[in-house]
Each structure stands twice: as C-alpha cells, then as structure tokens.
Amino acid sequence: MNKLRVGVAGASGYMGAELLRLLLSHPGVTLAAVTSDRLAGQRLDRAFAHLRGLTDLMFHELEADWLAKVADVVFLALPHMESQRAVPVLRRRGRKVIDLSADYRLRNAEDYVTWYKAPHEDPQHLAEAVYGLPELHRKAIADAALVASPGCYPAGAILAISPLVARGLARLDGIVIDGKSGVSGAGAQGRKVDPMYLYTEANENVQAYGIASHRHTPEIEQELGLLAGTAVRVSFTPHLLPLNRGLYTTASIPLAKPLTTAELLAVYREFYAGEPFVRVLDEGERPTTRAVVGSNYCDVAVVADSRTGRAVCLSAIDNLGKGGSANGVQNLNILAGWPERSGLAAPPVYP
C-alpha cells in the first residue's frame, strides 16, 4: 500500500479529532498537516491528550496553498460555508478533497440560500462534487476529485430508508423521520456555546430542535429523490440526547403494498449484500447506539406494521463515525483504491 500524504483542515473540533485518531493508525496514510486558526502554533498532542506520543505535528493556520504543497488529499472539517473558500485553491492545485461540512452536499445552489441563508460561492465545484455515501455512490466516489461526505442525520436516515425507496416499495407521501443525536453532533463550539448543549441542560433531558426547518432535510430529500426518480418530501425532526456520541433514527414509511417483516428484511439483505459497514439485523433484534460507538458501522432493522400499512425503519450509527469522520475515511479508501475496511477494521467500543 503506497502511502498518501493527508492533511486535515479544521482539525480542532470533535469531527477533526476523530478523523486524526483514525488517520494516525491508517496503514496507507502519512498525516502531513493539521490546521486550526484557533490553535495555530500549538502541538497537536497538547490539544488532544489521547493522541499523545502518536505525532509531533503542530497546528498551522489554514492556508490552502500551503496545504496543497504538503498533502496529496485534504480533509476539510470546517464550519459550514467555509470549505468553499479553500476548495477552489486545492482543486486548482490538483489536490483531491473530502469535505465533511455541508458546503458541497446539495446539488442545487439555491438550496443554500434557503437552508443556510447564504449564496454558494463556488458553483463550479459544487457541480463536480460527489455525495459521499458509499452505499449509494461508490462508483462515482472512486472517480471523484471532490467528495462531500453526508451529514450525520442524513446518513442514518438514508441508510434506514433507501431499500424501500429504491425498490419502489415505499409510498412517497407521508414519510416521517425522527432522529436523535448525541451532543458531539453540534461540534466543539468554543466560546459560542448554545445553552441547550450545556451539561445542565442536556443531561437527564431530551429536546427537539430545528423543527420543520433543520438543514439536513434537503440532503435526505435529495438522495431519496434520486433513488425514487422523482421529488420526495419528508417530515424530519431532530432531537438531542444526553450522549457523547451516537445517533438513532426511527422512520415511519407508508408501504405501496402489504409486506411482512420477513419480506422487508429480505429486501434489506439483498440491497446491502456485500456492504462492509451496514449490518442488517435479524427479526426481533433492534439497533442500539452502544453497539456502533467508535466505528463506521450502521446497524439497521425494519418491522412491518400491518395495522397501519407502514414499515418502521430503524438505524443506529456513531454520529462521528458513519455520520462523519469514519465515513470520510471509507471515502478515502475508495478514492485510493484500497480495501474499504483499511484503518476502520476495529470493532465498536464496549461498554
């Protein structure tokens, strides 16, 4: 395995920290550069004590030209609407980019005005970006120069629902999605902490937020619409759970025809056959966040509700894993032509 020089921009947040943990143990990677404007000049292992002894890198200010000189592939773990300032420079210098922010996920530039309240500043590269969910776009990712990794809520929801939509078994009206995430999903907010993420507010508490307005909604609709071949609208409500990590999705899907749980599971097993990180659970088993924390796995289950003519679709992921950094590493493996489990083979953490 020929080693690639990899840089990480915005490495001081939770997503960046998880990405560094994975890259430092990846057999095909030399971690060449890390940036953080906030921590520029500090040693990486001083900021992240859990990486002590694994690297002597220093944080550097974000300078896209410098990153292009020292890295072959660059991960961007930047706040939303900031990656589009670095991508044009990196792509002009011939560097491949895996973006963990929302900046290149949506195909329609106007959606950024609607959902992110700002115009997209790089429509050229928005058009070339590939949505980085391997289970749906593996072939396109392999040939991509710019990969837009999914948000955590969309990753959990899309993987829970896709088999039904792709096989024409779902009615597309009345899709209801409930997502619940641990607090690390909001990122390391520094000095500007939303009070809902404070320990005293999040602990022993469950809160809904972004009701009928969450920015991940168009991502879910976009990918399900591509599978369906027509526009899809969903009702999506996110919730905050008092967990460090983990994301749980429950989706209620109206069925186009009556199906049993056994029949639904057969569809899921066929759809995800050969997928290294999607585990379809047996009838009677239920996903749990505890079973996927620290990994790139997505556990899925589906149950027929014959009384309402619906399917109840369930998934569990680590919001920093399959919902973020680990999925990004899977994309790196695909870009490089490496086995997809490279650097991701360790089982989930327990307890």
Using alpha carbons only, how large is the chain's radius of gyration in Å? 20
Distances (CA, A) of 187 to 21, 115, 243, 273: 16, 19, 13, 33
Distances (CA, A) of 111 to 31, 77, 172, 217, 324: 34, 21, 21, 11, 21
**What is the rounded distance in angstroms from the CA atom of residue 338 to the CA atom of residue 331?**
10
Catalytic residues: 152
Q: Report strand pairing: 234-240 vs 146-148.
A: unpaired
**What is the rounded distance in angstroms from the CA atom of residue 131 to the CA atom of residue 157?**
15
Beta bridge partners of 235: 176
User: What are the tokens at 296?
Assistant: 């790139």
Q: Report strand pairing: 310-317 vs 59-60.
A: unpaired
Distances (CA, A) of 273 to 108, 166, 265, 284, 312: 31, 14, 12, 20, 21
Phi, psi of 119 (to 5 degrees): -70, 150
The CA-based diameter of the chain, rounded to the nearest angstrom, is: 61
Q: What does 10-40 look like in DSSP terms, one character per residue? A: STTSHHHHHHHHHHTT-TTEEEEEEE-TTTT
